[in-house]
Structure 1
Amino acid sequence: MPKLGLGTWRMLGEDCTRIALQALELGYRHLDTATAYDNEAAVGKALAQTDIPREQLHVTTKVWWDKLEPQAMRQSLDASRKALGDDCLDLFLIHWPGNTAQGWSLERSIETLVALREEGKARQIGVANFNVAQLTRAVVEMGAPLSVLQVEYHVLLGQQALLDFTRQRGMVLTAYTPLARGQGAETETVQRIAKKHGVLPSQVALGWVLEQDGVAAIPKSNSAVNQQSNLDALKVKLDDEDRAAIAALRKDVRIVNPDFAPVWD
């Protein structure tokens, strides 16, 4: 999976197709979508229109938390495959854990996820927004071959427990909202580091995420200028002084925290 991908949340219809094609032309090879985004068909049009061979691209989609019963999960994945025009998706994720108070069974959902991989409907499987306890049940107790954990991660939100878990298990942690919706770049520390290296503050914030072992990122950007800027963040070279300064920033700023979120570690 490429280190940098394009997040597509809130991109819809023809605009989404155009933005995705624009990113692919610039050099992106990783597109992230979900049934909840209502844009899988638009991303699928971009995949159909690009000249880039499909085997050079990585496509991730996700099943919403209210579709985690086995049959509903299967129907969701089949609908995603049809919308994306893809018989076998690169990565299929559970978007959010379900509500145990409403009868959600983590075990049934994970068993179904594994079965879908074994049936060849997804090359790799994973989860998003799981906490350590849920990951432990899925990966350690059940032995599920999860490849990816997708969670919010940026310079203002520490995720060390999750990073430790994914690294120990050979999983990739994919950071969504990796720029903290601009808040990371607004800190005096990040701006000072950017000035020191002659780059943009956003590139420092994103570069800090991307330089880490076992970590990928899927920032959302509509404009070609910002998409290129994010690509260029891969070239940012931070030093130990920079990393120490970023480590000293507050790490409790959580942007995405809906009512149905799990108890965070």
Structure 2
Amino acid sequence: MAGDLPRVGLGTYSDTNREQWAECVETALEMGYRHIDTAQVYGNEEYVGQGIERASVDRQEVFLATKTVHVDVPGPERSAIIDSVEESLGKIRTDYLDLLYVHWPAGCYDPETTLGAFEELYEEGLIRNIGVSNFEPEQLDEAHEILDAPIFANQVECHPFLQQEELREYAVEHDHWLVAYCPLARGEIFEDPVLGSIAKAHGTSEAQVALAWLLSKENVTAVPRSMSESHIRENFAARDLDLGDEEVERIDGIEREHRLIDRDYAPWN
């Protein structure tokens, strides 16, 4: 594998109550999480940093990821990208990021300039791994041609209703992680009869079944978002749920192609 990455992380996107992420991150870390995912445009990096500081866990034990270059921010210039990352480090109060993602290959994203800035940050030790998000194979191929450093991860929407088989195969072939966001399909998994019947058989929830299905796949990890302590705990426990081969096949056979995050500027449009 490209490198170690905890299989279940805490996603931290929200439009409101951003200050609550300090408590959520602290709770998750005390519970055993070691992978925290945020982004500049989430507007909560400061609170994520507070949560990490408040937890009784050394910073070196936490795999911390954020994202930059989101359509029209921070700007197309290399200096703007580097400045924005240094600002993120200040907000989070850390000397380095374990992973920095290109948030979208759109808008102010310029492959040569953006990835050149990432490579510079990587060489300076401000980021330990380079990632991309919402990339399709064409954008991944281009990034591989430009970068000397390896691509560590591609973060994309992935769940039983958008299974991303092509991108999962690409991740295995090119030895990087596929990090699944919206792994619970924003709650729609609770309405699916296949997931419901498997959950009933195990005496667990559809959320744990959906996460366990993702974790059954090679080179896949997930960052479910939750602000509830009980759901944070439930999601983390999915690591211990073993699905049978027949159950995995039943979920593989769900015939839906339902994308929740679909922007006009997305590379698949």
**Scaled by the length of structure 1, what TM-score is found?**
0.94
Match of 1:54 in 2: 59
Q: State how far apart, in whole Å, the 2-side matches of 1:13 and 1:130 are.
A: 27
Question: SS of the residue aligned with 1:183?
Answer: helix
Does residue 261 of the first structure (1) align with residue 269 of the second (2)?
no
Map 1:128-139 onto structure 2 (within 5 A): 128-139=133-144
Q: Could you list the runs of 5+ residues in structure 1 that have no partner in the other structure? A: none
How far did residue 251 of structure 1 move?
A: 3.5
Moved over 6 A (4+): none
How far did residue 143 of structure 1 move?
A: 4.5
Which of 200, 203, 206 is residue 198 of structure 1 equivalent to?
203
Match of 1:40 in 2: 45
Q: State how far apart, in whole Å, the 2-side matches of 1:217 and 1:142 are.
A: 25
Contact 2:112 2:146 in 1 (8 A): no
Which of 165, 179, 187 is residue 192 of structure 2 equivalent to?
187
Q: State how far apart, in whole Å, the 2-side matches of 1:59 and 1:186 are.
A: 32
Contact 2:7 2:221 in 1 (8 A): yes
Match of 1:151 in 2: 156
Tell me the number of residue pairs that the alignment of Structure 1 and Structure 2 aligns: 261
Contact 1:185 1:205 in 2 (8 A): no
Q: State how far apart, in whole Å, the 2-side matches of 1:128 and 1:73 are.
A: 16
Does residue 90 of the first structure (1) align with residue 98 of the second (2)?
yes
Q: Could you list the runs of 5+ residues in structure 2 that have no partner in the other structure? A: none
Q: State how far apart, in whole Å, the 2-side matches of 1:204 and 1:13 are.
A: 28
Which of 7, 11, 23 is residue 7 of structure 1 equivalent to?
11
Q: State how far apart, in whole Å, the 1-side matches of 2:77 and 2:102 are.
A: 11
Match of 1:239 in 2: 244
- The one-letter code of the counterpart of 2:11 is G
Which of 230, 250, 257 is residue 255 of structure 2 equivalent to?
250
Match of 1:18 in 2: 23
Q: State how far apart, in whole Å, the 1-side matches of 2:18 and 2:252 are.
A: 39
Distance 1:21 1:133, change over 3 A: same
Structure 1 residues 119-140: Cα deviation after superposition (integer angstroms, max 9, x where no partner):
1110111100011100001114
Does residue 164 of the first structure (1) align with residue 169 of the second (2)?
yes
Question: SS of the residue aligned with 1:122?
Answer: coil
- The one-letter code of the counterpart of 1:20 is V
Does residue 174 of the first structure (1) align with residue 182 of the second (2)?
no
Which of 42, 64, 72 is residue 80 of structure 2 equivalent to?
72
Percent identity over the alignment is 36
Structure 1 residues 232-252: Cα deviation after superposition (integer angstroms, max 9, x where no partner):
111111111111111111231
Match of 1:29 in 2: 34
- The one-letter code of the counterpart of 1:87 is D
How far did residue 16 of structure 1 move?
A: 1.2
Superposition RMSD in Å:
1.5
How far did residue 69 of structure 1 move?
A: 2.7
Q: State how far apart, in whole Å, the 1-side matches of 2:166 and 2:149 are.
A: 19
Contact 1:206 1:230 in 2 (8 A): yes
Which of 116, 138, 144 is residue 111 of structure 1 equivalent to?
116
Q: State how far apart, in whole Å, the 2-side matches of 1:223 and 1:197 are.
A: 23
How far did residue 172 of structure 1 move?
A: 0.5
